[in-house]
A and B are shown apart, each in its own frame.
Chain A
Amino acid sequence: MKSLEPGMTLIVKTITRLTVGLILLYGVYIVLHGHLTPGGGFAGGVIIALSFIHLMLAFGREVALKKISEARASVIENLGAVMFLSIAVLGFSGGYFFFNFFVNKGRPFHLFSAGIIPLCNIAISLKVGAGLFAIFAALILFRSSEKEE
């Protein structure tokens, strides 16, 4: 019946407390530099989701769900999706669906460059991060309610 206790041992919790912020930060970095270095919205989004999953595994689901509830994750995911689609539709302002509508694409090798690409990366990372977290929370929630029966 150990699994019913919220979270794991003290050692795990301490180390999680130290690392989880770093993991989140790394995810954000990967997203923002997606157009310059390896990575991008998907990898970064998964890393962000993993940081919350890490929290959930170490401290039990209540702590993680207090930070971001399943319903809110679902809403964020939706917003990410809508944002991505509207970026695509905004391309019509330049004449085409998915047109890279920034005239000035910025200087290469700088953070603010490449037009819609960083924006798309952010939208995707929101969507992927929140979506995967919602999947995971749903699966865990289901398992734990099954145990109670």
Chain B
Amino acid sequence: MKMLPFFVIIPLGAAFLISLLGKKIRKSGDILANICTLSLLGLSLYSISLVHIHKVLVYKVGGWGWVPGIGSIGICMVLDGLTSLMLVTVNVVSLLVTIYSINYMQKFTDKVKFYTLFMLMLAGMNGIIITGDLFNLFVFLEIASIASYALVAFGTEAEELEASFKYAIMGSVASSFILLGIALVYSYTSTLNMADISLVLSQKGSGPLVNFIAVLFLVGFGLKAALVPFHAWLPDAHPSAPAPISAMLSGVLIKTLGIYAIMRIFFNVIGIATTSILSIVMLLGALSMLAGVILALSQWDFKRLLAYHSISQVGYIMLGIGLGTPLGILGGLFHLFNHSVFKSLLFLGSGALDYTLHTRDLRQMGGLRERMPVTANTNLVASMSIAGIPPFNGFWSKLLIILACVQSHIQSGKMIYMIYAICAITGSILTLASFMKVQKYAFFGKLNEKWQEIKEVPALMQLSMVILAAICVVSSLLLIPLFKPFLQNAVEALLLGTGYKDAVFSAAK
């Protein structure tokens, strides 16, 4: 339990040290960043076993605990199943991305600042996941967001600056909505601890105010998650960033800032009672699913295409979670993990192409399979995963989501669930079509004469891509009973609903 604050202390300390020493000692940035992410991954894997034993753990920062009859007077950190799932997801991807960055970021100047900002973004994300306090969540959300605004513009080309500006404006508006929501919550409940808020809200009942707060949070976090009416910034921002950062942004940042926060607040704090909110979430999810993939079809810029697919895949996750049934939530969370893995793999692959070819235009590629076998094969694995081809992880999670839709249809008899299931299948087919295009133009076919001289990317970049591809294949096993508790604990944490508060209170004693 003492280890909980280290999820924030380690990356923060690494950021400060890299910024202090990086200029003086060569390579210290590379080494420190990799040690940091490696130890974070170790900690987060350890947290799985902790969750398995204790279910919920609470850490009181500063020793300020609960005062009877009043509530928590300090900030607390909470570790439960959902937290540990998110921590593992974030830290797996970030470790592989830092390994990849060692070589890739040599294209850019001032690697020290890159690593500093990267570590700060990681600290922000871990802070969001681990906290049990609403305002603390906002503060760490801002750290992660500001670091990502700066990282998107890291190349300082005109397009990147423009994309970053758009992203920063949208992100700041979203933050203002979230802060306004927090202010209303504070005024209504007079506390900021999530468990206490949940307690007070359950005593006071709902009304126009709670619905208004829910809408503010939905708009704010929806903007951060790039759900469809609020998605305008994502197709610009994600491709503009350097490839490792694109992988982080699409892979984990939108999930932590957007989806995790929505899940935590709507399920555990406000409570499922507002089913109208959940149906809005599902509708937005279905819309994102279709709109993202349709917009992706006509793209020729590889990274931009991937960015549109991120919108679509986030839609799947939201649809699964919005169903609110155990099967739907399981599918949604499993898809969240899978999408992190294969989308970061795809972005790293596109970065590898960019690294050797200096272009992202699919029309100029072709036949790269001969010259870059590792990139091509890992990319094939990831493409089949995202399109939902049977042995890979993407298939299982999409199948679970579609089955959950059908199950809800049978149970409630509402036609809308069937429509969502059909939407999900359609989206999956369109995704397959889109990635067949990628494979055809980039890796198969005739080799362009321009690229006769190219070589495969450096070994460390290959290593991280191969590991990610291996996870794509292996993570299907998460559904077998031996490994299922990892996902099942997260599902239970969400299904607990407002029972979250009681679990926290009893763990805090």
Contact = CB atoms under 8 A, between A and B. Distances in A.
A and B touch in the complex (CB under 8 A): yes
A82 interface: yes
Contacts of A98: 61-62
Contacts of A85: 9, 12-13, 16
A91 B62 contact: yes
A63 interface: no
Given A85-B9, A85-B13, A96 B61 contact: yes
B60 interface: yes
Interface in B172-228: none
Given A85-B12, A97-B9, A78 B63 contact: no
Main secondary structure of the interface of A (DSSP, over half): helix
Contact of B16 (A82, A91, A94, A97): A82
A18 B17 CA distance: 39
A15 to B, nearest CB: 37
B16 A78 contact: yes
B20 interface: yes
Interface in B34-83: 59-63
A2 B13 CA distance: 45
Contacts, number: 35
Interface string A70-110: 00001100110110010011011011111110000000000
B12 A78 contact: no
A85 B16 CA distance: 9
Contacts of A88: 9
Nearest to B75: A98
A96 B62 contact: yes
Interface string A20-34: 000000000000000
Given A85-B9, A89-B9, A96 B16 contact: no
B326 interface: no
A96 B20 contact: no
Contacts of A91: 62
Contacts of A95: 63
A97 B20 contact: no
Contacts of A78: 16, 19-20
B13 A100 contact: no
A85 B12 CA distance: 8
Given A78-B19, A97-B5, A97-B9, 12 more contacts: A74-B19, A75-B20, A82-B17, A85-B9, A85-B16, A88-B9, A91-B62, A94-B63, A96-B60, A97-B62, A99-B63, A100-B62
Interface of B: 2, 5, 9, 12-13, 16-17, 19-20, 59-63
